[in-house]
Amino acid sequence: MNPLKLKKTIAHIVIPALFLMAGFLQSCTTDSATDDSIAEIPGVSTALAREISHEPEIRLSGTVFANREANLGAGFPGRVEKLHYPEGTHVQKGQLLAELSGEMLAQAKAEFLTLEKDYERVKRLAGRGTVSQQEYDHVKARFEASRAKYELAQKNTRIKAPFSGTIVDYLVNEGENYFLNLNLEPGYSNTSGILRLMQLNPVRVEAEINEKDLGRIHEGLKASIQIPAYPEKTFEGEVTAIKPFLSTRSRTATAEITVSNPERLIKPGMSARIRLGLPPEKVVTIPMEAIYRDPETNREKLFLVEDQRVRPAGFTRLFPIGDQVAVSGLQAGEEVITGGKNRVEEGMEVSIINNGGHQ
């Protein structure tokens, strides 16, 4: 074959083939670039922030105290002659509980009777004008002082109940001498006394309230009380007082919860678990898994999706509700990223792969 014709034939075959190969390579490059562009858009799963009605509660630990208590004693020392009731007896207001020796009472009575006679005699003489007003006033003053002393002696040798309650402890036994010594048992009245009287129905439960919760707690708020000694029972109570100052150490205020105790099952000194039910409130919740903790800064982050773009959201975690968490700073209906949040950045375009819709 003519060499010139051979070259033309080869050219006709090779050159189209080269163009065809170049076109193929260009097509492959374009497809690859398109695939890479699609691969750069990460897929994420999302959920919608929801507004729900929530009944919050505050849980506390407390200690049971008597509604009223008093250590009853005398104004001066003496020997205890008679204790009228055993410990554990419920007594009424005004009942005679104990008596002290009567030496001082007898002495005060004798002095009072003597001065009473003097006073009556001088009073008659003053009416006739046979004694001076000064002498009359002097005798009258002595008589009135003696009467006050006698009445005080009567009061201090006969111990009566100032309120209805239960005799829980005798600090001095019959036959022992009573002195003005202090009772230093922690947590109870530390005044001097012969016996301790407590009002056990109702009882008070005292608990410490953190300052951040004080704005939500008020007198009249209902409370449920559980006592470890009676795990199957729940006692109902009510907040009746909140002390008007906070501890400078713990930054807490003491709340008093009054609990009915007709069977006297609850005893002073017992521990108590308290649940305070607060009024219902509207809160916005998101899945717990939507919150991402940055391993570098150890800060919690939350990402939203708007128009297929990622936007970080400012929020404050409030409290958990099951697998959800209540937050502030979000609106109901906003779309939060729950899956793939560690692969996204602000402004990034994402595709949503929720397999059937939002949660």
CATH architecture for the domain at 69-178:
Orthogonal Bundle (1.10)
Query: Which pLDDT belongs to residue 4?
Result: 46
Distance, CA of 89 to chain centre = 33
Residue 91: DSSP 8-state: E
Q: For the chain, what are the domain ranges?
A: 43-55+281-352, 69-178, 200-277
Structure tokens at 161: 């109940």
CA 6 – CA 60 distance, rounded (Å): 102
Helix ranges restricted to H, the chain: 3-39, 103-128, 133-157
Query: Which pLDDT belongs to residue 112?
Result: 84
pLDDT at 156 over 80: no
Residue 278: DSSP 8-state: P
105 or 79: whose pLDDT is higher? 79
Supply the angle between the helices 103-128 and 133-157 in degrees, to the nearest 10.
160
Q: Which one of 33-37, 269-273, 322-326 scores highest in mean pLDDT?
A: 269-273
- Residue where the block lists tokens 């104990």: 98
Split at pLDDT 50, 70, 90, the class of 37 is very low
The fold of the 200-277 domain, in CATH, is Elongation Factor Tu (Ef-tu); domain 3 (2.40.30)
Q: What is the pLDDT of residues 77-103, one digit of tens each?
A: 778 888 999 999 999 999 999 988 766
* For range 185-208, the mean pLDDT: 83
Q: What is the pLDDT of residues 44-74, one digit of tens each?
A: 999 999 999 988 889 999 999 999 999 888 7
pLDDT at 13 over 80: no
Distances (CA, A) of 130 to 120, 136, 137: 14, 10, 14
CA 27 – CA 204 distance, rounded (Å): 85
136 or 273: whose pLDDT is higher? 273
Query: Which pLDDT belongs to residue 204?
Result: 96
- Residue where the block lists tokens 């205020």: 253
Provide CB contacts within 8 A for 121, sequence distance 6+.
Answer: none
What average pLDDT does the structure give for the chain? 83
Query: Which pLDDT belongs to residue 357?
Result: 44
205 or 32: whose pLDDT is higher? 205
**Contact yes or no for 72/162 (Cβ under 8 A):** yes
Residue 141 bridge partners (DSSP): none
CATH architecture for the domain at 43-55+281-352:
Beta Barrel (2.40)
Cβ atoms < 10 Å from Cβ of 331: 9
Residue 205, SS3 per DSSP: strand
pLDDT at 187 over 70: no
Query: Which pLDDT belongs to residue 81?
Result: 85
Among candidate residues 34, 69, 127, 42, the one with its CA nearest the CA of residue 352: 42
Split at pLDDT 50, 70, 90, the class of 128 is confident
pLDDT at 18 over 70: no
126 or 260: whose pLDDT is higher? 260
pLDDT at 358 over 80: no
Q: What is the pLDDT of residues 327-348, one digit of tens each?
A: 999 999 999 999 988 888 899 9
